[in-house]
Amino acid sequence: MSIPLCLCTPEPSGLSAPAPNPNLYGKSEDAKVEIEEAVAKANKDHQRVILVFGGNWCYDCHVLDQAFHQADVAPLLGKNFQVVHVNIGDDGKQNNDLAAEYQVPLEKGVPALAILGPDGKLLYAQKNGEWESARTLDPDDIITFLNKWRP
């Protein structure tokens, strides 16, 4: 099955990622372990977990990460969420079991998000590629989303 991993165009507009982290999506990390650790910390700290499925090759994944670090977004994110970047690999076949488990349709594009409660239960999974063109999102859209899903 061929998965359209990045349905975006190369010209940026809106949010931008001037200096993408080349290791945002780790190659050797075990995503299941990272998710378990994030859930344990979220449970302890009364937070939720955001799973961000994507890859280092995905421009919009880096744009979303940059948005998460903006001054008006970072405090809200840090106080309320643990973020786990789940690498789908260069071919889109890595961690497909996790995408299926968390009901994230990777064929709609990445980044793709899911929100877990502090108990690890799924609260939200995007269904229609809502985050796939992160570069067109306004930071206020991200803040609204985070406020909606914060504990």
d(CA 67, CA 4) in angstroms, rounded, equals 23
Q: What is the CATH T-level fold of the domain 31-149, as seen in this structure?
A: Glutaredoxin (3.40.30)
Give the CA dihedral 35, 38, 25, 5, nearest 10 degrees.
50
Report the pLDDT value the prediction gives residue 116, as an integer from 0 to 100: 98
> How many residues does the structure list for the chain?
151
pTM of the model: 0.86
Pick from 84, 20, 29, 81: nearest CA to 56: 20
β-bridge mates for residue 115, sequence order: 50, 124
Tens-binned pLDDT, residue by residue, of the chain (151 aa):
334 444 444 444 455 545 678 789 987 668 999 999 999 999 999 999 999 999 999 999 999 999 999 999 999 999 999 999 999 998 888 999 999 999 999 999 999 999 999 999 999 999 998 898 999 988 899 999 999 999 9
Domain ranges in the chain are 31-149
